[in-house]
Amino acid sequence: MSPDFPMVKDLVLIGGGHTHALILRKWGMKALAGVRVTLINPGPTAPYSGMLPGFVAGHYSRDDLDIDLVKVARFANARLIDGAVTGIDPIARLITVPGRPPIAYDVVSLDVGITSAMPDLPGFADHAVPAKPLGPFASRWDTFRNSVTEPHIAIIGGGVAGAELAMAMTYSLKKRNLSPVTHLIDRGKVLAALGVTARTKMLKALNANGVTIVEDAHVTWIDADHVHLADGRRIQSNFTTGAAGAMAHDWQADIGVIVKDDYIAVDRFLQSSDPSLFAVGDCAHLSHDPRPKAGVFAVRQAPVLFDNLRALLSGADMRPYNPQKDYLKLISLGDKSALAERFGTAFSGHLLWRWKDYIDRKFMRQFNELSVMGQPDLPLTRAMGLKDALGDKPMCGGCGAKVGRGTLRAALGTLPQTDRTDVFIVPGDDAGLLRMGDVRQVISTDHLRAFTADPVVMTKIAANHALGDIWAMGATPQAATVNLILPKMSADLQARTLEEIMATAHAALTEAGAAIVGGHTSLGSEMTIGFTVTGLCTRDPITLKGAKPGDALVLTKPLGSGVIMAAEMSGDAAGAIVARAMRLMCQSQARASVILRDAHAMTDVTGFGLAGHLSGIGEASGTGAQIKLDTVPLMDGALALANAGIHSSLLRDNIVGGGPLTGPMGPKTDLLFDPQTAGGLLAAVAAEHAESLIQSLKNAGYPDAVIIGAVTAERGITLI
C-alpha cells in the first residue's frame, strides 16, 4: 500500500490460524488502501494442524510445522502484536491483551482455534497437556521425546485426532530405539465417528503400532505418574495428553455476541450478531450450515472472508460462504503411510502418505515463498552517484538508520566549544553534564526510525534506548519529553496510536523513575519515536574517561539486533529469532546500572556497535582493549545470518569509523560493528570485582552478562 494514502480504518485479526494466515498473504498482494491491518497472536508462529501428526512422528521439523507470522505480517504490511487476547468490548470496540493498552478496531475477525484442555478433570492442568492449542503441545512433546528413557503415554480421547497422535508418538519413540507403552482411552468406542471400513483399517493400524485401546473407560483423575479410571484401574503415564472434548476459549462467551456452546455464531457471510465482528475456523459455529471442526473448512473460508472484510470496509456487497457437505479425510498412520476416507469409502497405504505430504507442503510453500522487500527500480535517467547512495538494500530501522560514527564525529568536531561554566561535555560521551549549584544533571536525546509496526513494542524499545544514556552515566532518570512522527492517518487513528504510545511511554518511564513533562508530534511518511531524557547524579557521573589498564570489560546483553532486524526486513530471519531479539531490546538496564555503579568507565552499546563504543572508551581514557572473541554473547540466529552475508545498512560505516582493530576477520568480527538498538551496558570495572559483578547481574535478570576481555595500555582493539 502506498504511504501516500493515509490510514483511516483499523482491521484487527485475532489469531494466526489457517484462515488469517491466508488472509494476510492475499492482503499483501491486494491491499485495501486506507486500512491498517493488525494481527494479534500469542507467539511469532502458528503451527499447521495438517502436519502435526507428521511432526510428532518425526517426519517434519518444527520449522516445517510452523507458519512464520512475522514474515507473513511483513509481506502484508501488517503490524504483529505478540500476545494473547483475553477479552473484546464490542461497544467501545476495544480488545484486551494483558500487559499493554487496549487495541481499538473498526472491524475484527477471530481465528483462535479451540482448546482440548479438561479443566474439570482433577490433575489435568498440573500433569497433562492438551493436544490443542497445537503450539504448546508440540513444544512439550518435543522436549519429552528427546529426554525420556522409559516412555509411558496416555491419550484421553479416542477420536481420529487421538488415534493419529497415539500412532505418531509410538512410531517416533520406536525410531529412537525405545519401547513405548501407549494407551488410547475413550469413554465409549474409539473412532466411532468413522465408517465401518475406515474404522476397521484404523483399528488394524493401531494394533500394528502397538497401541493399547481402552474403551468404555471413565477417567476420574490424573497424577504425575498415572491416569486413574473409575473402575479402579491405574494406567501408568509420564506423558498424558487430552484429545477429546474440544472447547471454545472461555473469554469468547463474554464478548456479548450470540454464541452456540461458547462458539461464536456466524451467518453465511461469516459475521456474528455484531456486524463488525467475524469469526472463522474452529472457534466459530456456522449457524446456517453447521460443520464439524476440521481445518479444511478454515482454509476454504479464507477467500470469502477476505472479500467480505474488504467489502465491509469499503462499502461493497458481501458474498456467502457455502461449505461442502463432505470432505476428504487424510489420516496419518504413524509411519509414512496414511488412510483416506470419504463418503464411507476408505483406502490406505504409503502412496496416500506421499499425496498428503504433497498437499501439506504445497500449503506451507504459500508462506515460505513470499517476495522480499527490495530497493525501488532506478529510473533510466538519474543523477550520477544515485545508485551508490541508494545501496544494495533498504535502510534499516532503529540504530541501523543512523549516521555512521565517522561522519557524525567529523560534523561535531567542527563545532566550537561552549564557554558556559555550568555545562560539561566529554567528547563522545553518552550525555552532557549540567551543574546547577550542587545539583548534577545529565541530559541526552535519542529517537528511532521504527522497525516494527507495533507502537507499544517500539515505544518500550525507544524508551530503553534513550534511557541507556542516563543509565550508562550512573544517573537516576528524572524527566523526559516525547518526540513522535506518526504515519499519515485519520484523526481517529492518530488518537488510537497516541493512546497506545503515551500509555506505554508513561509506564516505562514511571517504572524507571522519570516523569513525562511534554513532547512534540508531527505526521510524516513513517513512524519514529524518540525521547529527550534527564537524570540526576548523587556523585560524579561515570563517563568514557576513566578506564584503567587491567580493568575487566563487562557486557550485559548479547549482540545481533542490527543484523536480525535487517534480516527481518528482507524476510530472511525466522519469526522466533525476531521475537527473542525484540524481547531483549525491551529489557531495561536500570538494575544493571545500579550494579555497575562503581565502574571506572561505562557506555551503552548502540548504533556504533560494540567496537565503536569500545573505541570511544579507549580514546577518552587513553587505553586500548583485548577482546576474547568467543566470549562475546550473541543473540540467537545472529551469527548464522552474518554467515549468510546479511548485515545492517550501517555496518560498513561502522567498520570505517570504528577505530583500529586487529585480529581474525569474518562474520563474527563483523557483529562487533553491528548497530545495536537498546543494547546492553559495556563497563570497565576493577578486575578483582568482575566475577562477583557478573554473578550479581545474572541474579538480577541478565543471564547473558559476561566478561568479554580487558582494558590494555596499548591503543586499539585486539581480538584473540
Condensed to tens digits (0 to 9), the pLDDT of residues 605-631 reads: 999 999 999 999 999 999 999 999 999
pLDDT at position 677 over 80: yes
| Residue with the larger pLDDT of the pair 426 and 481 | 481
Cell of 471: 543509565
Residue 374 has what pLDDT?
A: 60
Beta strands in 281-334, from DSSP E residues, in sequence order? 284-286, 329-333
519: enclosing H helix or E strand = strand 515-524
Residue 401 has what pLDDT?
A: 58
CATH number for the domain whose boundaries are 124-242: 3.50.50.60
67: enclosing H helix or E strand = strand 66-68
Q: Taking residues 426-432, what's their average pLDDT?
A: 66
86, 99 Cβ separation under 8 angstroms: no
Residue 422 has what pLDDT?
A: 82
How is 439-457 classified by DSSP, letter by letter?
EEEEEEEEEEE-SSS-HHH
Please state, in angstroms and rounded to a whole number, the distance separating the CA atoms of residues 681 and 555.
6
Q: So what CATH class is 9-114+248-326?
A: alpha beta
Q: How far apart are the first and last CA of the chain?
A: 49
Q: Taking residues 308-319, what's their average pLDDT?
A: 97
Please state, in angstroms and rounded to a whole number, the distance separating the CA atoms of residues 441 and 11.
45
Quote the percentage of the chain above a pLDDT of 90: 78
Q: Taking residues 31-50, what's their average pLDDT?
A: 95
Cα 363 to Cα 86, 296, 323, 329, 570, distances in angstroms: 30, 11, 19, 16, 22
Condensed to tens digits (0 to 9), the pLDDT of residues 437-489 reads: 888 999 999 989 999 999 999 999 999 999 999 999 999 999 999 999 999 99
The whole-angstrom distance between residue 616's C-alpha and the CA centroid of its chain comes to 33
| 333: CB partners within 8 A, 6+ apart | 167, 202, 205, 209, 339, 348, 353
Please state, in angstroms and rounded to a whole number, the distance separating the CA atoms of residues 545 and 601.
6
Is 544-720 CATH 3.90.650.10? yes
Residue 250 has what pLDDT?
A: 86
377, 580 Cβ separation under 8 angstroms: no
Rounded to two decimals, the pTM is 0.89
Please state, in angstroms and rounded to a whole number, the distance separating the CA atoms of residues 345 and 329.
11
For residue 19, give the amino acid letter. Answer: T
Q: Taking residues 510-515, what's their average pLDDT?
A: 96
pLDDT band at 204 (very low <50, low <70, confident <90, very high): very high
pLDDT band at 1 (very low <50, low <70, confident <90, very high): very low
Please state, in angstroms and rounded to a whole number, the distance separating the CA atoms of residues 712 and 426.
21
Count of alpha carbons within 13 angstroms of residue 529, beta-carbon side:
27
36: β partners: 10
133, 115 Cβ separation under 8 angstroms: yes
- Catalytic residue positions, numbered: 399
Please state, in angstroms and rounded to a whole number, the distance separating the CA atoms of residues 610 and 603.
10
Q: Buried b / exposed e across 103-125, counting CB within 10 Å, b at 16+?
A: bbbbbbbbbbbbbbbbeebebbe
The residue written with cell numbers 545481533 in the block is: 560
Fold of 430-542: 60s Ribosomal Protein L30; Chain: A; (3.30.1330)
Condensed to tens digits (0 to 9), the pLDDT of residues 560-616 reads: 999 999 999 888 999 999 999 999 999 999 999 999 999 999 999 999 999 999 999
Residue 495 has what pLDDT?
A: 96
Nearest CA among 330, 328, 329, 344 for reference residue 197: 344
Cis-peptide into 133, omega within 30 deg: yes
Residue 458: how many other CB atoms lie within 10 Å: 27
Q: Taking residues 355-359, what's their average pLDDT?
A: 94
Highest mean pLDDT among 395-404, 428-437, 676-685: 676-685
Please state, in angstroms and rounded to a whole number, the distance separating the CA atoms of residues 159 and 186.
8
Angle between helix axes 160-175 and 134-145 (nearest 10 degrees) is 30
* Domain positions in the chain: 9-114+248-326, 124-242, 430-542, 544-720
pLDDT at position 267 over 70: yes
Q: What is the 3-state secondary structure (H, E, C) of 194-251?
A: CCHHHHHHHHHHHHHHCEEEECCCCEEEECCCEEEECCCCEEECCEEEECCCCECCHH
Beta strands in 376-475, from DSSP E residues, in sequence order? 423-424, 432-436, 439-449
- Mapped onto helix, strand or coil, the DSSP state of residue 348 is strand
Condensed to tens digits (0 to 9), the pLDDT of residues 697-720 reads: 999 999 999 999 999 999 999 999
Please state, in angstroms and rounded to a whole number, the distance separating the CA atoms of residues 497 and 521.
12
Residue 394 has what pLDDT?
A: 66
| Residue with the larger pLDDT of the pair 271 and 394 | 271
Q: Taking residues 220-246, what's their average pLDDT?
A: 93
Contacts 24+ apart (CB under 8 A), 407-416: 407/653, 407/657, 409/657
Mean pLDDT computed over every residue of the chain: 92
520: β partners: 483
Please state, in angstroms and rounded to a whole number, the distance separating the CA atoms of residues 517 and 561.
30
Residue 383 has what pLDDT?
A: 87
Torsion of CA 111, 113, 119, 123, to 10 degrees: -130
pLDDT at position 400 over 80: no
Please state, in angstroms and rounded to a whole number, the distance separating the CA atoms of residues 691 and 64.
42
Condensed to tens digits (0 to 9), the pLDDT of residues 144-203 reads: 999 999 999 999 999 999 999 999 999 999 999 999 999 999 999 999 988 899 999 999
Domains 9-114+248-326 and 124-242 alike in fold: yes
Residue 420 has what pLDDT?
A: 82
25: enclosing H helix or E strand = helix 18-29
Residue 409 has what pLDDT?
A: 63
The length of the chain in residues reads 720
For residue 460, give the amino acid letter. Answer: K
Condensed to tens digits (0 to 9), the pLDDT of residues 111-122 reads: 998 888 888 899
Nearest CA among 67, 85, 17 for reference residue 576: 67
Q: Taking residues 355-373, what's their average pLDDT?
A: 88
The residue written with cell numbers 517504572 in the block is: 511
Strand 107-110 to 129-130 pairing:
unpaired
Residue 29 has what pLDDT?
A: 93
Please state, in angstroms and rounded to a whole number, the distance separating the CA atoms of residues 494 and 481.
19
In the chain, % helix, strand, coil (3-state, to 5) comes to: 35, 25, 40
446: β partners: 531
